[in-house]
Amino acid sequence: MSGYRTGTGWDTHRLVSGRALILGGVSIPSELGLEGHSDADVLAHAITDAILGAAALGDIGAHFPDSDPRWKGAGSLAFLKYAVELAAAGGFRLLQVDSTVILERPKLKEYRDPIRRKLAETLGLPVDCVSVKFKTAEGLGPVGEGRSAEAQAVATLVK
CB atoms within 10 A of CB 107: 11
Question: 148: which strand partners?
Answer: 14
Residue 14 or 93: the one with the smaller Cβ distance to Mg ion is: 14
In angstroms, the first-to-last Cα distance of the chain is 11
Binding interface with ligand C5P (CB under 6 A)? 103, 107-109, 134-136
Phi and psi at 152, nearest 5°, equal -125, 150
To ligand C5P, the closest distance from the beta carbon of 104 in angstroms equals: 6
**Minimal CB distance residue for Mg ion:** 45
Residue 81 or 135: the one with the smaller Cβ distance to ligand C5P is: 135
Q: Which does 107 bind (CB under 5 to 8 A by kind): ligand C5P, Mg ion, none?
A: ligand C5P
To ligand C5P, the closest distance from the beta carbon of 35 in angstroms equals: 18
Q: Which does 37 bind (CB under 5 to 8 A by kind): Mg ion, ligand C5P, none?
A: none
- Check if the beta carbon of residue 12 is closer than 8 Å to that of residue 150: yes
